[in-house]
Structure formats: C-alpha cells, structure tokens
Structure 1
Amino acid sequence: MILKLDDEEYTYAKSGVNIKNQKEAHKIIGDLIAETYKFRKGKFGEVIGEYGHYAGLLDIGNDLCLAMHVDGVGTKVMVAEMLNKYDTIGIDLIAMHANDLICMGAEPVALEDYLAIEKVNNNIIYQIMKGLVDGAKEAEMAIIGGETAIMPDVIKGNKSGKGLDLSGMSIGVVNKNKIITGEKITFGDSIIGLKSSGIHSNGYTLARKAFFELANFSHHDPLPQSSGSSIGEELLKPTKIYVKPVLKVIEQLDDQIHGLAHITGGAFSKLHRLKVGKKKKIGFHINNPPKPANIFKQIQKITNLSHKELYKTFNMGIGFCIIASKESTEQILHICNNSNFSAIKIGTVNQQEHILIETKDNKKIKL
C-alpha cells in the first residue's frame, strides 16, 4: 500500500544523501590532496591532470599513464542482503571501476577488492567473489588481491551477521597521447547514450526508502505495472559493463572521441565533469532521452520526485555517454549496437554552459 506524501516533493537529500554537501566535501578534499602532487613532480609517477575526474593519472614513462580509481557498490549491498542473493554485486563493483577507467580512454587492467563484513559467512563470500570473477571476465580485468575486514562493531546489517560493504581499487593504462578528458569537446558534437539495465549502482538510498519505507512494499512484491519481476529483482539487476564497445569505439575512431561519461552518482550532472580544466564554455542539450523504465516511474509516483531530481539522481535509462564528432555518429551507433549494447543519439553539444534535458513528456530540465 502506497503512503501519500501530501504532494510534498521528496528529494535525495531527504532520503539521507545530500549531493550538495558531498560536493562541498569533495572541494575540501581536493584542495588538500592537490598539495601532494608536488611530491612526485619530475619523478616516476608524476601526476597528470587535475583532481576530480573519473580516475587519477600517473606518468609511468614510455608515453604511458597509469589510471587509478577507487569505488564501491554503496547501499545496493542492502538489497542483496534482503534477497539473500549476493552473486551479482561483484559484477556491480567491477562495473563501477571499469566503466570509470574507460572514461579516461584507459584500458582496465586489474582490481583489488575490499570486503568489510560483520561476520564471516563463507557462502556469502563465495557468491560475492563469483560475481567479481564474472564481472572481471566481461571487463577483461585481473583480480590480483584484496582485503577482507571482519568488523562486527562497525558493520551492521538489517539481519544479524549479514552486514557488509564492498569496494575496491583498480588500475588501467592509457597512452599519454590518447588520454580522453573532455578537453576536445566542441560545439556540434554528438552525445550518444548507451542504455542501462536499470538503476545500476546509484540512488539506492532513495530507491530503498521509496519502496520499502514510504510505500511499505516487501522486496518480494511485484513491481507495479511490470510483467512479474519483483521489486527486489529489479533493484538487484547488475550494472552493465561498457568496456568492450567503448574500447572498440576508441580504437576505431581515435581522436573523433572527445569525451566519455559514466552516468552514476549525480546522474546527468556528471557531464559537467567533462569540463574540468576547460576554458571553453560548453553545454549539453539532451533532446532525445529514452523513455524511462518503469522502475523510475514507480519511484517518482511514490515520492513525488521532480523531474529535475530524477535526472540528477538516476541514470533514467542511459548508463554511459560518448561525446564525439558529428561525422562519427553513425559509426559509433553501428559499433555499439553490433556489440549488443543498445545505443542512440540523445543530444548535441551547444554553447549554453548548462545541461538541458527535454523529456518525452515535454518537460525541460536544467542541471
């Protein structure tokens, strides 16, 4: 039974995740750690670029850069706990790493996982590791180590002994002359979207509160207006790994690829990240987004979430964006669709400095 919110708009911040505060924290962190870059100046491992992109870059000589990334699965692990099904959250972890590494033009190479658990449960550990291996196979990465921390006083699950957190650190490699940052994005470039499998791995604090607190559903309940999938099953769908089609696009089209964006936390506002270090004023006009999947519609129905809040919290059907020259559009679509990754042109780069999304129901959203 759905509880009414008296038409009050719900937000991600009200669910407990305040993106504005997070960005302020990132600014504090960035200002401090940027001071450490000078410690490697002129040495092996000199830092390339600025803080705040999808991965950090280190010059390792011979025109090669090491790309490094840290990420986690977030509160999606709580959905796995609800369903007592852990064999896909490892895929999510690989996806969160591999999809971010390729945004720099880097080929993902290896990952080390960090599993913090409330209590040792070998069946759960096996399922998680199996998912990691499945994801690593798709991303063609090696898992070369990790850490299992048993912390019953810190990690608490909804079910006693079942609490966990899953994260990791990964590396990739890219030729120094092939780094993709968004610096080459120019007016008229095409924005190509690769479709998502669902929510992926972001926005789960809001999604869980919507379904299981505000609407008082069980994870066993069917998703309203669906063909039979339960809410839990829909929420647990693994994140797509875009490595193979994106690396193929980079290999075949090279300098026609100007920017790459994994649509994760912050959703479409992630496109602003491609303006790091840019003096050029650019904007992103998304006028052909896909029709949102039912799960996003149900979250909005329960929470009265505004369209703007939806599009800056959830991927809304697009998990990855390729920004490329207009001339390369058809070839990129061909490569992606022939690789079994559904892709469409969703918009164009313009001079408006903001992200403008025009939805199928004629809503205009500025991010």
Structure 2
Amino acid sequence: MDDEENDQEGLTYSEAGVDLAASDAAVAALVGATGEFEGEFAGLIELDDRYLGLTTDGVGTKLLVAAAVDDYSTVGIDCLAMNANDLVAEGLDPIAFVDYLAVEAPDEATATAIGEGLRRGAREAGVALTGGETAVLPEIVSGLDLAGACVGLAPTDGLLPGTAQPGDRLVGWASGGIHSNGLTLAREAVTREFEYEDPFPPDPDRTVGEALLEPTRLYTDLVAPLRGHEVRAAAHVTGGGWRNLTRMGAHHYEVTDPFPAQPVFELVRSTGDVADREMHRTFNMGTGFVAAVAPEDAPALAEETDGRVIGRVTEGEGVAIRGLELGSD
C-alpha cells in the first residue's frame, strides 16, 4: 500500500455505517453511568490470592457473511476467540465460556454449526464450555446474533502491569485475517465488485466469502510466555485497528516491521478505494496481538513464540505504522 494514498479519502468505516467517534462517546457515557472498573481489555476483580477477569463480546456483522453463504461453522470460534484474547491481553488464563444466541427463528442446522465452532474454539483454547442461553426474539432480532462471555484467572503476581514504558520493544504476532472487526466496511467494499460465492482473486480455490470468514486466531498459548518475560502490557488488535496499542499507555508506538497483511485486506482496500490510514485504523492488517516488552527480553520472547519484534515505544502519543501516523483518538 502506497503512502501517497494517505491523502486520498475513499470509502470509510463511518460511510459504511459505523461511526467510531459516536461509538466511543456512547461507550464513555455507559461507563460514566455505571462507574469505572479495573482493567483495560477485561474487567478485573481482586480475590484473596488471585484475580478474576471477565470479558464479553460478539461476532458482529461477520454473521451477515455467514448468513449469505449459509456457513456458520467458524463463527463460534470467532465468538470464543474475541473474548479469550482480551483476557490474554491482561495476563489472565481463560478458563470458562458461555454463549448467548439470539435468533429470529430457531434452526437446528444453524445451531449445530455454531455449537461445533464453539466446541472447536474451546478445545483449542483449553476453555470449558459451561452453558449459555438461546433466545427466540422475532420482534427484536432479524436473523441471529451471537455473543458470549469468558472468565479468566491469574495469580496476584500473574497479571501484566498494564502500562508500557518508553524504550520498550513491541513484539507482535500474526493474525489469521480480518478476524471479527471491521466487517461492515469490508462487506461494503468487497460487494461493490464481487459476490461472496465468487472465486477469491489471490486464491481461486477459495471464495470471497471463505476469505472473509477465516476465523479469529486464538492467542491463549501466549499466556505462559508473556508471564515468563518482562512484558509490561499487551493489546489485542480488534475494533479500532492499530489504535488499540494506545490502550497500553499514553506513549508513541512506532511500528516499523509489522507482519504482512493477508491478501483479503488488499481486496478490501482496492474494491472500496479505502485509504491506507483508514485501513490501519479499522483492521489488524496482519498483526493481531502486540506486547510491550523490556528491550533485553523482546528477542527471546519473539524467538520462543512465533512472534517478531515489530517496533518500539517512544515518548509522545499516537501510533505510526512505517511512518504513517494514525493518531490516538
């Protein structure tokens, strides 16, 4: 992607239907009404000798792609991963998950496919499925919605400190694709030129729909390595794209060597004429999880896992990807 595109404004997330500024304001209002809580990616409760963490999240409009191609086999993985990965970003071990499936009308085949995906995700993450709720809401729901909640635990000394320091190195881990954020923009862009059943241009053996439905990668295998090194903070690169790094503290995050963006991102960019800055403010662009690590520990952590040193933390504010400033708002 060429930096000259930065000044060109094609399709934006807001124009596709998601106003992030309004969303952030609504979240701030909700938090203001309910009260502050401890934790950045998960709510934390201190017990006698450990911390308990709670997350809740859903699959979002990725479900509309699944509905269009009648393939719900992977959205259960997405639902579990979106929750479990947020716990990992706090240094918590995910241990249990419950789902909430709201439907316009019950369908056995769809429920089975979703359940099988949840089971696959739970098995990979080492998480127990402990029940859930299915609600039939024809006057409220069109189609279906899938969300869940996950519980994690950590010893009192097992949580990540939560704040990066200038001089830290950024270690990143590759994503599996778009994951479960930004699909409103991705769908609007891609369907300008393609149907979901069309061959995916970079890999004609797959369809466009299959590329968009590639499940969210789980990062639960990183909990032990993160605790075993001097890791200050971590970020799950989800809604808001690379700006999630600012949740590790008010610093400047210079990313110079991210993982390559998978071909699906170029398809979204080209079909929607989406500016490079908008892409990085919306999507993970190939890197799904990032940790701020003491400089002497970063190479060992990257080598021990499948990560790589992708940048550093400096004085200032905001995020820059290969010199492209994304801002911190």
TM-score (norm 1): 0.84
Deviation digits for residues 114-138 of structure 1, max 9, x if unmatched? 0001111111101101110110011
Distance 2:42 2:109 in 1: 33
Identify the residue that residue 198 of structure 1 maps to in structure 2: 177
Identify the residue that residue 305 of structure 1 maps to in structure 2: 274
Superposition pairs of residues 130-279 of structure 1, within 5 angstroms: 130-156=116-142, 163-183=143-163, 185-212=164-191, 214-215=192-193, 217-244=194-221, 246-253=222-229, 256-275=230-249
Answer with 1 or 2: which has the greater Rg.
Answer: 1
Does the residue aligned with 2:284 lie in a helix, a strand or coil?
coil
Return structure 1 stretches of 4+ with deviation > 6 angstroms. Answer: none
Is residue 69–residue 169 contact of structure 1 (8 Å, CA) maintained in 2? Answer: yes
Once the two structures are TM-superposed, the CA of residue 60 in structure 1 deviates from its matched residue by 2.1
Once the two structures are TM-superposed, the CA of residue 292 in structure 1 deviates from its matched residue by 2.1
Is residue 221–residue 230 contact of structure 1 (8 Å, CA) maintained in 2? Answer: yes
Once the two structures are TM-superposed, the CA of residue 231 in structure 1 deviates from its matched residue by 0.4
Distance 2:27 2:105 in 1: 32
Deviation digits for residues 138-179 of structure 1, max 9, x if unmatched? 1111111111001122221xxxxxx11000111101122322
Does the residue aligned with 1:105 lie in a helix, a strand or coil?
coil
Distance 2:324 2:231 in 1: 27
Distance 1:321 1:8 in 2: 28
Amino acid of the residue matched to residue 17 of structure 1? V
Q: Percent identity of the aligned residues?
A: 34
Once the two structures are TM-superposed, the CA of residue 8 in structure 1 deviates from its matched residue by 5.5
Seen in structure 2, the aligned counterparts of structure 1 residues 8 and 103 have a Cα distance that, compared at 3 Å, is closer
Which is further off, 99-108 or 288-297?
Answer: 288-297
Distance 2:44 2:159 in 1: 9
Q: Where do 5+ consecutive residues of structure 1 fail to align?
A: 1-6, 38-46, 157-162, 276-280, 338-342
Deviation digits for residues 48-91 of structure 1, max 9, x if unmatched? x26xx100011222x21110111001011111111211111101
Residue of 279, 288, 295 corresponding to 2:264: 295
Q: Where do 5+ consecutive residues of structure 2 fail to align?
A: 1-7
Is residue 93–residue 153 contact of structure 2 (8 Å, CA) maintained in 1? Answer: yes
TM-score (norm 2): 0.93
Identify the residue that residue 122 of structure 1 maps to in structure 2: 108
Aligned length: 320
Amino acid of the residue matched to residue 56 of structure 2? V
Deviation digits for residues 158-209 of structure 1, max 9, x if unmatched? xxxxx110001111011223222522x2122111110011101111011111
Is residue 181–residue 274 contact of structure 1 (8 Å, CA) maintained in 2? Answer: no
Distance 2:10 2:218 in 1: 33
Is residue 261–residue 287 contact of structure 2 (8 Å, CA) maintained in 1? Answer: no
Identify the residue that residue 40 of structure 1 maps to in structure 2: none
Does the residue aligned with 1:111 lie in a helix, a strand or coil?
strand
Identify the residue that residue 3 of structure 2 maps to in structure 1: none
Seen in structure 2, the aligned counterparts of structure 1 residues 325 and 308 have a Cα distance that, compared at 3 Å, is same
Identify the residue that residue 159 of structure 1 maps to in structure 2: none
For the aligned residue pairs, the C-alpha RMSD in angstroms reads 1.5
Is residue 283–residue 351 contact of structure 1 (8 Å, CA) maintained in 2? Answer: yes
